[in-house]
Amino acid sequence: MARSYDAGSIVAPTLIAAYRATHYCVNGVSPPFLLRVDEANPDLANCHLAYGVRCSAFITAWNPGSRPTSEEENHAAQCRLEAMLSERGYRLVDGLGVDPTGQWEGEESFLVLGIDRDAACDTGRTFLQHGIVWSGADAVPRLLLLA
């Protein structure tokens, strides 16, 4: 079973703060909408309903280990993520993780519809991510830190 971890023991507090402040933009639907950690989101609830799912995750393959990585490497990793998730039958919606302060470039991402918590965490770990954002039936995006 996927676990949440004590944030202070695994991931630097500044990184956790950055994850929490990020604007998780879901751009591949009309109209696009924005996810914020721990804030109920009626647009996400409607998206779940429209696609007949009860959960989703916002996942990227960019900057594994939270280390700046070349655009070429990031795009290649994102293509591998897309191929893996598509092969497993998930519906993907394009997204972008955006730093509202503009200190780092946006990270291409996917809202993965219908992915359960364990599979989402496993996917994040596969792509060496420190965290993902997962939402259950309550449509509240939650930051899950990965080890």
**How many structural domains comprise the chain?**
1
* The pLDDT value given to residue 111: 98
Q: Is the pLDDT of residue 6 over 60?
A: no
- CA dist 21 → 35, 89, 101, 118 (Å): 10, 31, 9, 24
At residue 4 the predicted structure's pLDDT band, cuts being 50, 70 and 90, is very low
In a domain, 129, yes or no: yes
Average pLDDT estimate for 5-18: 68
Distance CA 57, CA 59 (A): 6
Q: Is the pLDDT of residue 139 over 60?
A: yes
Per the CB < 8 A criterion, the answer to whether 146 and 123 are in contact is no
In a domain, 19, yes or no: yes
In a domain, 76, yes or no: yes
At residue 9 the predicted structure's pLDDT band, cuts being 50, 70 and 90, is very low
Structure confidence by residue, pLDDT tens digits, 75-94: 999 999 999 999 999 999 99
pLDDT above 90 as % of the chain: 84
In a domain, 140, yes or no: yes
In a domain, 1, yes or no: no
Distance CA 6, CA 107 (A): 25
Residue 104: domain span: 7-145
In a domain, 2, yes or no: no
Mean confidence (pLDDT) of the chain: 92
Per-residue burial over 103-128, b if 16 or more Cβ lie within 10 Å, else e, is eeebbbbbbbbbbbbebbbebbeebe
| Chain centre to alpha carbon of residue 64 | 13
* The pLDDT value given to residue 12: 85
* The pLDDT value given to residue 10: 60
Q: Which letter does DSSP use for residue 51 in this model?
A: H
Per the CB < 8 A criterion, the answer to whether 78 and 70 are in contact is no
Distance CA 2, CA 117 (A): 7
